[in-house]
Amino acid sequence: MIILALDTTTEFGSVALRIDGRTAAEIPLHSPDGFAHVIFGHIDQVLKRTGIALETVDCFGAAAGPGSFTGVRVGLTAAKGLAEALNKPVSAISNLRALAFFGSSDRRAVLLDARRGDVYAGLYNGALQPIQPEVVSKLPVWLEQITPDCEFITTAGAPFRAALRGSRFDGSTWTEAPRSLAAAIAYCSELDLQPGAALDPISADANYVRRADAELFWRDR
């Protein structure tokens, strides 16, 4: 099985290729001006690096957000366009779920900054399946719904750990995930292909957690 995965949801993106259950290549990207003008060049680069022809890709995975409204759309549109042209499935993967990939416990509490005092939050098990639905919430409110036996996972430099000092979560395990998520997106896509959770290109859509909140937030940035 060959999976090509894209993440363009922040200015730090990535492209990865997963072949027969392993990450064959991952290219970290940095494009503060967005990825619409460069993403296909990087796709070509990762294919050439691995000697894989585009038409042999079995599934196209894309980070579906939460993230930059435009960035989410760029990656999803690219994946959906390639999948439709080649009659292949698409797997739209939540960024929170992709971050859970970097944990090691059976209860993985994933956090992303949603600005304005809110967080995007999700709780996943070791199989990267949701234990609770993803939400947009105030951090203290969400913490009331989980237990201290969780492993917290977030991106490098996020301020959440300091916010939990002195609370009942003070001794919890913390993991900082890398900025490059495409390899994790590919892994999650592979999991979804087993039960047939991958979608046809028309059905794949962005993950805004709570759509109205996310669209308002990114519109006002």
Distances in whole angstroms, Cα of residue 64 to Cα of each of 9, 18, 81, 151, 158 = 8, 18, 15, 23, 20
Task: State the pTM of this model.
Answer: 0.90
61 and 124: one domain? no
83 and 115: one domain? no
109 and 38: one domain? no
Contact 79, 62 (CB under 8 A): yes
95 φ, ψ (degrees, to nearest 5): -60, -35
35 and 111: one domain? no
Split into its structural domains, the chain has a count of: 2
pLDDT tens per residue, the chain (221 residues)? 999 999 999 999 999 999 999 999 999 999 999 999 999 999 999 999 999 999 999 999 999 999 888 999 999 999 999 999 999 999 999 999 999 999 999 999 999 999 888 999 999 999 999 999 999 999 999 999 999 999 999 987 678 888 888 899 998 999 999 999 999 999 999 999 877 665 666 666 777 665 544 444 334 33
148 and 205: one domain? no
CATH number, domain with residue 189: 3.30.420.40
Range of the domain at 170: 103-177
Contact 7, 92 (CB under 8 A): no
CA distance 178 to 156: 7
Amino acid at 20: D
CA distance 149 to 109: 10
DSSP type of residue 77: H
